[in-house]
Structure 1
Amino acid sequence: MNLQQLRYVVATAEHRTMTDAARSLYIAQPALSRAIRDLERELGMTLFARSGRGVVVTSQGRRVVKLAREALDAVREIEGLASHGGAGEAELRIAATPSLEPGLAGRLLPAYASEHPGVRVHIVRCEGREAVVSAIRDQRADLGLTDLPVPGDLITHPLERQEIVLISPPGLELPNPVPMARLHGMRLALPARGSVRRRELDAMFGKFAVSPVVVLETDERNGWLNAVRTGQASLLWYRGMAEQAARAGLVVRSLDPAVRRVIAVVHTRRRLPLIAQDFLATAERGTTA
């Protein structure tokens, strides 16, 4: 067993597919699968089980993943000490949702990398705000980028207010911006019932006394966009998805009145590593520039 194998195990657990985990590690997917199988044979246990197109962590695997994260955290602490002494490379882990990751990668990371070229930034991809919070609490990430609100045990650093827009298939006769009243009876793809995101959208519908027709209920973002691409429904989401939607030939419109959510960097109530403090400083400078 070695540190590389532990990194492979943690990445596979985080990404839930071998393909995505291999991409994040910059290795070929067959090489990752082979390394995981070799480790399972060495340990005499199954760490991951196939589930559809992805994998799930087994009960034995959960314990291994937890210990692997703790071991890698300890290694990072040691590497951090070395890097501040002028050697080695430090790693900063940032949890982000798919809808906010493009802004992180396109704007914040280049600014940070130009000032701190010796730091490797690893993005922990999370399906929604609750997953970002979990990644922070479990110390799988040093910082998180998400919309507010988050639980009160986390520290927040607001960066911007991002607009919620209507993403629709072409051909719909709608004004821009779209009055809230026009959402009444509109066919929409929505997050799963009971999720935080769904409760927030339902509260917005109640505030404006509108009742859309729910065509699809899922937390799978590809499912939302596929529903819009095939003309089945429209979608309410952040303007950060507008570029991806436009490339797919979809139409993006504002709402009237406008609806915005505060986007923030979040972390636990503990002393942050210096590289995380530096990232916060870069992000906050970018919001005031």
Structure 2
Amino acid sequence: MELRHLRYFVAVAEERNVTRAAARLHMAQPPLSRQMQQLEEMLGVALFEKGSRPLALTEAGSFFLAHARPLLDQVRDLKAMTQRIGKLERTLAIGFVASTLYGQLPDIVHHYSELHPEVDVSLHEMTTMEQLAALKDGRIDVGFGRLTGEDASIRRILLREERLVVALPPGHRLAASGAGLRLTDLLHDTLLVYPKAPRPSFADQVLAMFSAGHLTPGRVTEVRELQISLGLVAAGQGIAIVPESVQAMHHRSVVYRPLEDTHAYSPILFSVRQMDHSPELADMLAAVYAIYDEQGVAHVKESLRGVDQ
């Protein structure tokens, strides 16, 4: 059995259709069907229910899929790490969600680059979901995102929980109040959420807060990105819930009020490939904690191998 058998099988199992799997693998359908037959013959068991449409896995097939995926993830990790070690120049590609630029991320990257000028650092704006895909195929080495989730091939470290605030136009009925707001205060406004795609996203995180409180926003408008949502707030087209660090982007037509609901937080997560313990990553994590300590930002320290303190 070869790695290609695992890759072909996972594609067929996930697509539940040989034709679609063949298109995904950029190969013809007959050779793929023969490879699946060959794999079943090598294993001596049926992996797919005969005659099922769409294709359904047998119990053995489900077991094989559960173990084939992590093996392929490890191979991708091994490839990416070997390529990095083999390069004459040290590099570190960082994926980040836009809102982190208004917080400590610029200071973190600047601090890291001062300590490690030999490393060529590049920054790539992408959603959390895009970061996970980019980590898996080696386009980035670390991601700063906001969405939690489980993926056996990705190690995710919670850096901190950031409070959320409400962005309002200056003439809004709630803008003049110096007190904090609650989600119940926002039910009669048009709620602007971002990004519109891909999902899940920060938009779903905001909507989940309402659902957790058994609340339903009056009207929800999805927009493409953070900057557009704030522009529409300034134009009086609605309100937005954003991380508190966004307040650093001063806009004369937007005011911010804190959210006092106990669950009005958004996590900031440090994501890397599960097997990747490269020194560049450890140094970047150390830079994160150094800036947090310097600026008095509450956080829990954790190494790439486990909790430190």
Is this a same-fold pair by TM over 0.5? yes
Partner of 1:197: 202
Give the superposition deviation at 1:278: 1.3
CA change 1:108–1:129 in 2 (3 A) is same
Give the superposition deviation at 1:169: 0.9
Give the superposition deviation at 1:180: 2.1
Q: Secondary structure at the match of 2:98?
A: coil
Q: Secondary structure at the match of 1:141?
A: coil
Q: Is 2:221 the partner of 1:216?
A: yes
**Which amino acid letter does the alignment assign opposite residue 149 of structure 1?**
T
Q: Is 2:186 the partner of 1:178?
A: no
| RMSD of aligned residue pairs (Cα, Å) | 2.8
Give the superposition deviation at 1:91: 1.6
Query: Residues 136 and 268 of structure 1 are in contact (CA less than 8 Å); yes or no, is this contact kept in structure 2?
Result: yes
Partner of 2:151: 152
Q: Percent identity?
A: 20
Give the superposition deviation at 1:204: 1.3
Q: Is 2:170 the partner of 1:167?
A: no
**Which amino acid letter does the alignment assign opposite residue 226 of structure 1?**
G
CA change 1:262–1:221 in 2 (3 A) is closer
Query: Residues 183 and 211 of structure 1 are in contact (CA less than 8 Å); yes or no, is this contact kept in structure 2?
Result: no
C-alpha distance in 2, partners of 1:250/1:75? 46
Deviations 1:80-113 (A, max 9, x none): xx4xxxxxx4221111011113435422112212
C-alpha distance in 2, partners of 1:256/1:114? 38
Partner of 1:5: none
Partner of 2:116: 116
C-alpha distance in 1, partners of 2:281/2:260? 38
Partner of 1:15: none
C-alpha distance in 1, partners of 2:200/2:149? 14
Q: Is 2:261 the partner of 1:253?
A: no
Q: Secondary structure at the match of 1:278?
A: helix
Query: Residues 168 and 255 of structure 2 are in contact (CA less than 8 Å); yes or no, is this contact kept in structure 1?
Result: yes
Partner of 1:130: 129
Give the superposition deviation at 1:269: 0.8
Q: Secondary structure at the match of 2:276?
A: coil
Q: Is 2:86 the partner of 1:78?
A: yes
Q: Secondary structure at the match of 2:292?
A: helix
Query: Residues 147 and 202 of structure 2 are in contact (CA less than 8 Å); yes or no, is this contact kept in structure 1?
Result: no
CA change 1:204–1:108 in 2 (3 A) is same
Which is strand-richer, 1 or 2? 1
- Any stretches of 5+ residues in structure 1 without a counterpart? 1-58, 63-70, 83-88
Deviations 1:205-232 (A, max 9, x none): 1232333233521233333122112111
C-alpha distance in 2, partners of 1:271/1:146? 18
Give the superposition deviation at 1:185: 1.3
Query: Residues 159 and 287 of structure 1 are in contact (CA less than 8 Å); yes or no, is this contact kept in structure 2?
Result: no
- Any stretches of 5+ residues in structure 2 without a counterpart? 1-22, 27-78, 295-309
Q: Which has more radius of gyration?
A: 2
1:1-289 map, 5 Å? 76-79=84-87, 82=88, 89-126=89-126, 128-153=127-152, 154-174=154-174, 175=177, 176-191=179-194, 192=196, 195-214=200-219, 216-244=221-249, 246-258=250-262, 259-289=264-294
| TM-score, length basis structure 1 | 0.65
Query: Residues 102 and 248 of structure 2 are in contact (CA less than 8 Å); yes or no, is this contact kept in structure 1?
Result: no
Larger deviation, residues 197-206 vs 247-256: 197-206
Deviations 1:165-214 (A, max 9, x none): 10111111213311221011122112339634333322211232333233
Deviations 1:148-169 (A, max 9, x none): 4132322122222111110111
C-alpha distance in 2, partners of 1:155/1:216? 33
> Where do 4+ consecutive residues of structure 1 move more than 4 Å?
71-76
Kindly tell me the number of residue pairs found equivalent between the two proteins: 212
Q: Secondary structure at the match of 1:225?
A: helix
Query: Residues 215 and 233 of structure 1 are in contact (CA less than 8 Å); yes or no, is this contact kept in structure 2?
Result: no
